[in-house]
Structure formats: structure tokens, C-alpha cells
Amino acid sequence: MNRFWQLTAYPQGTDFASGITLQEEAMPEIGENQLLVENLWLSLDAGTRMWLTPRTDSYMDPTPLGSKIIGFVLSRVVQSRHAGFKEGDIVRAYGQWADYSVLYPDMGDIWVVEDIGDMRQHFAVLGPNGWTAYVGLTEYGKVRPGETVLVSAAAGATGLLAAQFAKAMGCRVIGIAGGPDKAALLTGTWGLDAAIDYKAQDVGGALAQIAPGGIDCYFDCVGGPILDAVLPNMAMNGRVAVCGLISTYDKEEREGPRNFDLILMKRLTIAGFFSPDFYFRGGEINRLTRPWLEAGKVGMAFDTTQGLENTLTAYGKLFSGGNVGKVMVKLTD
């Protein structure tokens, strides 16, 4: 039998159990050019929340009701009917939140990955979160050494990588995160220059003190009130790389940023991006970031949950701030 998480209704807010249920089916059979894989790890990503709504103007189509939940998996090929893959290959791919997935390699977004010890790094420094951070900083944030870079959700997977990459690129880096423990981790373990606890501090006031010259690049994972507080603190000709808007994903009402006029007054550039547009550059980016990983210059904290049945609890951490670093579910012992 194969267990999988099924979307039965679009969840309300963060009550994921209201619309996502664990089901069982007979082991799927594969057709020509398909693979059956055993999922070893699930990568839980905040962006998935956008596919679990009925909105049709997002970057991915809504997941149809009745479907399995799609997500990144690290898996072992157990049966191959595709000439490019053999049994035993370890792949990173879009699969499902399930014990086993059927994959269609010709549709793309599947990579055979090498054994690097901690395979979770294939989703972190050397995977989609790392590619997002790198592309966001360089192509959209256009960071240069010596500049002041601000990162929100800085103790989460994508933000922690953006913050560390910016440090490795020679920038002064300020992180925003929820709670004193996360703020202390950012300046302690992760070597950021300063951190702001947005739950206890006035973000705008703190930025004015920490960065009186202004923020050159804001790598924004959050949007909402934090973005409102950051815009008045941007430097002239600053750039905002809009990576994510996690504060808004489960809201039906959409709000624009306050202080919109400052985009004009400060000559700001605000640009959104989605990493799937850059997955083809993953190998090239890894050639630059892997030496940082191997030298211990960058890394990742992992928040690991054991067992497919605990996936929703793990997923909820992304929206409550219960995680530090990359949230993953381990499916095998």
C-alpha cells in the first residue's frame, strides 16, 4: 500500500487538517518513461501554500481538489521504465507528499544527485532554497561588496541562506526574525552583523538606529507590515528583491505596500522573482556555493520531523515560526 496526503478542500488559514487528509491506495503502477520512487525525505516549502488555494493568478495552477499534494522529494528509484534512470538512483524531484511517487522525468525538474553525506543539503545550500537565495541577491538585489543587506524570515530556510550568501559576498547583513532566541542565533551561530526581533521591536525604529545610511538591498520573504516598516529605511537607489510574501498567503484580501510613494522618492527598484525560472542554472550556482559549504562558510539548520503521518504538524511550523532553518520530513528509519 502507498500512503499519500490528499487535498480534499482548500484549507482555511493555517488549519491544514481542515482540507488535507492522509489516504491509502494500492501501490501505483508505472507506464512507459515513468519511474516509481520511494520517497526518503520531503522538503516542506512555504510557497506550496499558494497552490493550496483556488486562486488562478498565482505562479502555479491551484492543486485540484482530490489530488495528491505536490512537493519536492528526495527519493530512491525502485522501478524504472525510463532509459535515463536506473533502480537505485537517488533523485531530487517534484513528487508528492507520499511514501511512493510516480515521476515523469520528461516533464523536467528531476535531478540525479550524488551522495554528499547530509543529503538534506540537496534542498538547502545546494538546492532550490539556495538557488532562490543566490538568484534573488545577485540578479534582483544586485548586491555589491560593502553594501548593507536586510533579510526577513532570516532564521528560515531561504532567508538563512540569503543572509549567509550576502555575508560571503562581502556585505553587511541584518536579519529580521521572530523572537529573541532566533535573533540571538542569527548574530551568534550564523554570524550576521545585527538582528531584529520583529515580535518585540519596532522594525522601522531599529533599522534607523542599526543602518542610519539606509538599506541597499532588502531580500524580502514576508511582505506586509514588515515591508511597510522597511521602505522608509531604504537607501537611495535601493533594491527590494521580493522573494516571498508569507504574511499574505492565506489572506483573501490583498493589500498594497504603504509608503508606495517612497519607491519614487528614493528611486527604488522592487522586483519579484520565482526560482523555478532559474532551476536550469542550479549546477552553475552550486559550483559557486559548494566551496562555501565545504569550507564551513555557509550552512543550514534543519528542523526534521519523522514520519509521513506528521507532515501537517511540520508544515504548520512554517507559518507559526516554529522552525529554525529548513523543515524536512524523514520517511525512512
Ligand X SMILES: NC(=O)c1ccc[n+]([C@@H]2O[C@H](COP(=O)([O-])OP(=O)(O)OC[C@H]3O[C@@H](n4cnc5c(N)ncnc54)[C@H](OP(=O)(O)O)[C@@H]3O)[C@@H](O)[C@H]2O)c1
The DSSP line for 29-50 is P--TT-EEEEEEEEE--TTHHH
- For residue 238, give the nearest of 224, 222, 227, 254 by alpha carbon: 227
Does 159 interact with ligand X (rule: CB under 6 A)? yes
**Where does this chain touch ligand X (CB under 6 A) — which range of 86-94, 165-173, 285-293, 320-328?**
320-328
Does 47 interact with ligand X (rule: CB under 6 A)? yes
Work out how close the CB of 332 gets to ligand X at its nearest, in angstroms, rounded to a whole number: 23
Does 238 interact with ligand X (rule: CB under 6 A)? no
What residue type is assigned to position 308 of the chain?
L
Contact 173, 216 (CB under 8 A): no
CA distance 270 to 268: 6
Among 20, 37, 42, 46, binds ligand X (CB under 6 A): 46
Q: Which of the residues 100 through 129 are near ligand X (CB under 6 A)?
A: 129
**Would you state the cell numbers that stand for residue 170, as one nine-digit string?**
562581502
Contact 54, 64 (CB under 8 A): no
Does 178 interact with ligand X (rule: CB under 6 A)? yes
C-beta closer to ligand X: residue 34 or 289: 289
Does 207 interact with ligand X (rule: CB under 6 A)? no
Among 37, 124, 155, 234, binds ligand X (CB under 6 A): 155
Among 37, 91, 166, 177, binds ligand X (CB under 6 A): 177
Residue 331: C-alpha distances to residues 43, 97, 129, 317 (Å): 11, 10, 21, 18
69 φ/ψ sector (left φ>0, alpha ψ -120 to 50, else beta)? beta
**Where does this chain touch ligand X (CB under 6 A) — which range of 44-52, 185-193, 257-265, 291-299?**
44-52
Residues 6+ apart with CB under 8 A from 257: 223, 227, 228, 231
C-beta closer to ligand X: residue 2 or 326: 326
Residues 6+ apart with CB under 8 A from 209: none
Work out how close the CB of 112 gets to ligand X at its nearest, in angstroms, rounded to a whole number: 22
**Where does this chain touch ligand X (CB under 6 A) — which range of 12-20, 80-88, 188-196, 319-327?**
319-327
Residues that bind ligand X (CB under 6 A): 45-47, 129, 132, 153, 155-159, 177-178, 182, 221-222, 226, 243-247, 273-275, 318-319, 321, 323, 327
